């Protein structure tokens, strides 16, 4: 998409809003790509498969996201649910990568 996006407070019509949403979604995908790169790095670095799942770290990551969402005035409980899915997906991905690297 070649349209220049505007920040939400500067949008005056739905076309601008949609361009902003689509641009933001692409940026989020780039960030997810980087986050999953860290999962690949963790799979490479961790020596034992049973260290991939770390419930304490999972709880900390979700709590951090929930607190950040609350500070921003976002729906903190729903963000915590999203992060739970994100972290579980990341763990599953890391396990696949851990196995792939050692097969």
CATH of the domain at 53: 1.20.59.10
% helix / strand / coil in the chain, to the nearest 5?
A: 80, 0, 20
Query: Is 1 contained in some domain?
Result: no
Q: What pLDDT does residue 1 have?
A: 45
Q: What pLDDT does residue 6 have?
A: 97
pLDDT digits (tens, 9 = 90+) for 20-41: 999 999 999 999 999 999 999 9
Query: Is 24 contained in some domain?
Result: yes
Number of domains in the chain: 1
pLDDT digits (tens, 9 = 90+) for 42-76: 999 999 999 999 999 999 999 999 999 999 999 99
| Token couple for 49 | 């498969």
Q: What pLDDT does residue 2 have?
A: 47
Q: Domain range for residue 90?
A: 8-101
Query: Is 56 contained in some domain?
Result: yes
> Could you give the CA distance from residue 97 to residue 38 in angstroms, rounded to a whole number?
11
Query: Is 54 contained in some domain?
Result: yes
Quote the pTM value: 0.91
């Amino acid at each position: 998409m070649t349209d220049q996006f505007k920040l939400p407070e500067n949008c005056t019509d739905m076309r601008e809003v949609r361009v902003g949403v689509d641009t933001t979604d692409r940026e989020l995908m780039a960030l997810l790509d980087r986050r999953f790169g860290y999962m690949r790095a963790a799979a490479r670095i961790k020596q034992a498969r049973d260290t991939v799942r770390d419930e304490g770290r999972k709880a900390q990551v979700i709590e951090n996201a929930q607190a950040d969402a609350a500070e921003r005035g976002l729906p903190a409980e729903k963000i915590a649910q999203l992060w739970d899915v994100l972290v579980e997906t990341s763990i599953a991905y890391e396990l696949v990568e851990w196995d792939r690297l050692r097969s």
